[in-house]
Structure 1
Amino acid sequence: MSRRWDLLAHGDPCADVVVALEEASRFGEKVVGRPLGIHAGGTTANAACAFSRLGGRAAVYGRVGDDAHAALLRQSLQDFGVDMTHLRTEPHSACACVIAMVPPSGDRAIVYLPMPPCEPDLADLAAALRQTRVLYAMPYDLEAFADASRLAHECGAQVAIDLEAAVAPDRDAMLQRIALADIAFFNESGFTAGTGRSPTPEALAALLAESRLQAVVVTLGAAGAVAASREGTALQPAFAQPQVADTTGAGDTFNAAFLLARLEGRGLQDCLRFACAAAGHAVTAVGARSAMPDRAAVERIIGGGQEPPLAESSC
């Protein structure tokens, strides 16, 4: 069946307020910072932008407010070629916001300020899902995600989720969410929080075996990424970059690139290599979307040299 989009990103775009710190901050202490600007962001919206920049067809399903950040968020999605048919404006509301604090190491800490919850329009969501191949979500709200997952499968779409420790802080929360998904992405801390294990190939394969998932993928920061699917397991080192400016959005870029490669029918190792190369490019500028690569840039990285066991870039 022909579909209008390859990826439907489910979630509200965010305004990222980025601050550089002279040293890492700790509770109860004051540190000196400097503003690095306000950028368009949001985990699922970032993935949609990365997916589109790489040549895929992406749309976003969510809300923005009517404050000063709304125009920035809409303009960025338009610039990346993301379809906004199902992005609605919530009157008298502030857009979702992230405060990102970037220490000298480049590894940011974030504070997420979401929009208030609302009753979902399931008929509208179903109409969007009938036009996409994959629903992509970060499922904070389990009840809302359960409805979206059910509709996606009824409409013939796959479901991919991004699970961080803030989303699924324990095994029960993790299992409830992966039971509703086909592909699960974790960062290292999210996998450990959800499973109680380090993300080894064996641990990923064990999680795959006890679930309905088709693939489990874990990003490992500077060490690259690991994945397990029904075809086996794979490890991929990160691609070194001369300078890491900001890791914000690197994981979103990784997930988008992996999904695009998978939809193109690539093998598991190829998907990981393509995704790590895309994420490596994404860390070279400040802002989640500032250095999102196109396909040509990713292919240049892949063809450009050695992949060390431990690299400076972050997936």
Structure 2
Amino acid sequence: MISVFGSANMDLVAYVGQAPARGETVTGHRFRTIPGGKGANQAIAAARAGAQVAFLGAVGDDGFGAELRTALTEAGVDVRGLRQMPGSTGIAHIVVDDDGGNSIIVVPGANGTVTGPSGEDMAAIARSDALLLQLELPMEGVVAAAQAAQVSRVPVYLTPAPARPLPPELLGAVTTIVPNEHEAAAITGVSGPENALEALLQQVQEAVITLGSDGALYGARSGERLRVPAAPVKAVDTTAAGDTFVGALAVARAEGRGMEEALRFASTAAALSVQREGASTSMPTRHEIENALN
């Protein structure tokens, strides 16, 4: 089982030819509401990739919260750890341009109340084969969840987004950190993914830097280094590609696959996701991933 301690947002997605500059108004050509949030996205990605998944987080007592609970349940995710809090559910305002690029504003809502795992959350984490974390919850909650996993010897995957300074007590509990190249540079203060990788390995056991169309770069303190290319695809919408990658990577590793095979599985899942619109709605099933690999 994989546990995800993270955010659940409703994505409010506007599609435009070109994203507006500051002070500029543009006319979009479509609008959608799509279940999202980095935590919920990773939970759905892992479930579709073939894992049993428990989601630990919070939504508000509004309509968006009910929709998110339904979306997670329909994807096969266990939502017994999804709390309902008074007030609004988190939202993400996303602008997607015709080249598939995106910009995102997140308003935490109920996510901001998750300042630590409950007793039931900690029991779920202890039973898990992996714990997935991101940074859309309060930092003290993320640290507490990581430390609970560390005590139970459960591997911890951290997606450091939105990028911010990472406390030593969090890094000390992380097994594998999975930033994109921009997040890696922001965290380390080092330019160039290879240099950032080496800087990250001074702080964690393993690091995977996702490079978009250039694939992914992996390193471990043991000295192992790998670069896995991305599949050559036309991106329609890159929203949640990173979350798809992390969810699929954790599934493959939990199944005992070697890192190179796991990276190819994850890269294939991400490549399939960018060819579809939306966040959770773009994530491939295990059957689709395996077909694309063969």
- 2:95 is equivalent to residue 101 of structure 1: yes
What is the aligned counterpart of 1:49 among 44, 48, 73?
44
Structure 1 match to 2:290: 299
1:97 Cα deviation from its structure 2 partner: 0.3
Aligned pairs, number = 290
1:295 Cα deviation from its structure 2 partner: 1.9
Is this contact kept in 1: 2:41–2:244, CA < 8 A? yes
Deviation per CA, 1:56-114, whole angstroms, max 9, x where unpaired?
111100111111212211111111100011111113x1110001100111111000010
Report the identity percentage: 31
Q: Which amino acid aligns with 2:231?
A: F
Deviation per CA, 1:267-305, whole angstroms, max 9, x where unpaired?
2221211111000001122111223112221122223xx
What is the aligned counterpart of 1:284 among 271, 275, 288?
275
Secondary structure of 2:179's aligned partner: strand
Is this contact kept in 2: 1:138–1:167, CA < 8 A? no
- 2:213 is equivalent to residue 217 of structure 1: no
Structure 1 match to 2:149: 152
Structure 2 match to 1:226: 217
Is this contact kept in 1: 2:10–2:35, CA < 8 A? yes
Is this contact kept in 1: 2:150–2:173, CA < 8 A? no
Query: 1:145, 1:62 → 2: CA distance?
Result: 11
Query: 2:256, 2:266 → 1: CA distance?
Result: 14
Structure 2 match to 1:245: 236
What is the aligned counterpart of 1:142 among 122, 133, 139?
139
1:191–1:215 distance in 2 versus 1, CA, 3 Å = same
Deviation per CA, 1:42-61, whole angstroms, max 9, x where unpaired?
11111111111111111100
1:252 Cα deviation from its structure 2 partner: 0.3
Query: 1:198, 1:270 → 2: CA distance?
Result: 28
- 2:228 is equivalent to residue 236 of structure 1: yes
Secondary structure of 1:160's aligned partner: strand
Unpaired runs of at least 5, structure 2? none
Poorly superposed stretches of 4+, deviation over 4 Å? none
Q: Given the two structures, how large is their TM-score scaled by the length of structure 2? A: 0.92
Query: 1:231, 1:263 → 2: CA distance?
Result: 22
Is this contact kept in 2: 1:201–1:227, CA < 8 A? no
Is this contact kept in 2: 1:233–1:268, CA < 8 A? no
Query: 1:63, 1:206 → 2: CA distance?
Result: 34
Unpaired runs of at least 5, structure 1? 304-315
